[in-house]
Amino acid sequence: MLVATNHAKRITSGIDDLKIIYSKYLPFKGFRAINLFGVVFARKEHPALSRRIINHELIHTRQMLELMVIGFYVWYVIEWIIKWIIYKNRLEAYRNIGFEREAFDNDSNLDYLKYRKWYGFASYV
């Protein structure tokens, strides 16, 4: 599913292409959705995900593809730890991760992935 060939365009090109699983366990309470390896898990008790949230997760899928998935998670965790040390607040650390900043800044623009440059998150680090 996360192969950076013809499937990459399909996965990151449209809101209807994203696999969404509603769960009562993932993500942790307080969050609406989490993207794990290109599959989005959403809290079951919330209504269907908005187009903005789905676009946010599609941005993360593109970031994953650029860093061959594992690189994304390694970078994400290391940056989160560094930001947690800096801000001394887990939520503030999360909101200031470069990947999250790019996704939050652009999730309301449903055309963002059409013109986004490769490694667009780099300007947010």
- The per-residue pLDDT for range 45-103, each reduced to its tens digit, is 988 999 999 999 999 999 999 999 999 999 999 999 999 999 999 999 999 999 999 99
Span of 15-19, 45-49, 74-78, 119-123 with lowest mean pLDDT: 15-19
Cα–Cα distance, 121 to 67 (Å, whole number): 11
Contacts of 10 (CB under 8 A, 6+ apart): 17
Task: Locate 119 and state its tokens.
Answer: 């490694």
pLDDT the model gives residue 73: 98
- Segment 17-42 shows an average pLDDT of 93
Nearest to 24 by CA among 48, 41, 5, 6: 41
pLDDT the model gives residue 7: 38
Average of per-residue pLDDT values in the chain: 89
Find where tokens 């667009």 sit: 120
